[in-house]
Amino acid sequence: MDVGSLLAPAAEFADRLSQIKAGLAPTSDWYPYSTIQNVSHLDCLLTGSHRDLLGLTGGHPVADIGAADGDMAFFLGDLGVAVDIIDHAPTNWNGLRGARMLAGHFGPSMPVTVHDVDLDSQFLMPREWYGLVLLLGILYHLQNPFYALRHLAGRSEYLLMSTRVVRVTSDGKVRLDDAPVAYLVDPTETNGDSTNYWMFSMPGLRRLISRTGWTVVDEMTVGHTGGDSDPSRPDRDERAFYLLRSRSAPAPVEQSGVMGGGRVAAP
């Protein structure tokens, strides 16, 4: 199914989800941004045979890491895809209450499960194998992005990732766009949010991708692409989007179970 054909269904589901949320809790209780909007970015990112978004799963479950309220996960679930929402309550916008309320609303007919996993630990995934992992807007919130990407390379064939990138330091004095580096932000430097950590230069991000076992399939940047994006100013926010394919993931095998119970379907 070409990702472009999902734009209209995604918009319709986003409207439906907004109405559901309004009936479950006050607006202030929900994450203020719709992650379903990422479908339009994926429409611009994906090329060739990789535009078949559901085909990237290979018929296996999807992991949505750092999913906020799980809007994207529930949209994929509405299309019949099994999705694990993986986030950590202490750093999630509403302590994962939003995702759990939606899971409770949809009930067992929606193949989406919510897992509270400390992503800043040497975490393990709820399943041994995923066809596709979503890591959209979360990498710069992780204390150990190297471990996360390397771990995921052994658990999934494809990874859709977006993260904030920088080309100059906050004071504008040092250019970063030609060096494979990462900038560690101060706890209050970016939106006053202490869960922001590493912001990579583009060469630094590409090196991280390569050294953790991934190959770039598709790549683009959006937002402030004028060459002076920095770690601090909202009006100089530049994001890199990637479709990555693992070089190190083993062929999936029959799984006997998942963390917390349940059974993983054989590939």
Q: What is the pLDDT of residues 71-96, one digit of tens each?
A: 999 999 999 999 999 999 999 999 99
Residue 233 is encoded by which pair of tokens?
């100013």
91-149 confidence digits (pLDDT tens): 999 999 999 999 999 999 999 999 999 999 999 999 999 999 999 999 999 999 999 99
162-172 confidence digits (pLDDT tens): 999 999 999 99
The band of 259, judged by pLDDT with boundaries at 50, 70 and 90, is: very low
Three-class secondary structure of residue 112 per DSSP: strand
Residue type (1 letter), 170 = S
Residue 195 DSSP label: T
Report pLDDT for 250.
Answer: 67
Residues forming a β-bridge with 165: 200, 238
Report pLDDT for 261.
Answer: 32
Q: How far apart, in whole angstroms, are the C-alpha atoms of residue 165 and residue 4? A: 26
The band of 265, judged by pLDDT with boundaries at 50, 70 and 90, is: very low
Q: Which of 104, 61, 85 is nearest to 263 (CA)?
A: 61
Over residues 2-12, mean pLDDT:
98
Report pLDDT for 191.
Answer: 87
Residue type (1 letter), 217 = V
Q: Determine phi and psi for 253, rounding to 5 degrees.
A: -125, 170
Q: How far apart, in whole angstroms, are the C-alpha atoms of residue 201 and residue 188? A: 20
CATH for 3-246, options being 3.40.50.150, 3.40.50.2300, 2.60.40.10, 2.160.10.10:
3.40.50.150
Q: How far apart, in whole angstroms, are the C-alpha atoms of residue 230 and residue 184? A: 12
Q: Domain ranges in the chain?
A: 3-246
225-256 confidence digits (pLDDT tens): 999 999 999 999 999 999 999 998 765 554 43
Q: How far apart, in whole angstroms, are the C-alpha atoms of residue 214 and residue 211? A: 7
31-42 confidence digits (pLDDT tens): 998 899 999 999
pTM beyond cutoff 0.85? yes
Q: How far apart, in whole angstroms, are the C-alpha atoms of residue 118 and residue 115? A: 10
Over residues 205-223, mean pLDDT:
97
Helix/strand/coil percentages in the chain, nearest 5 = 35, 20, 45
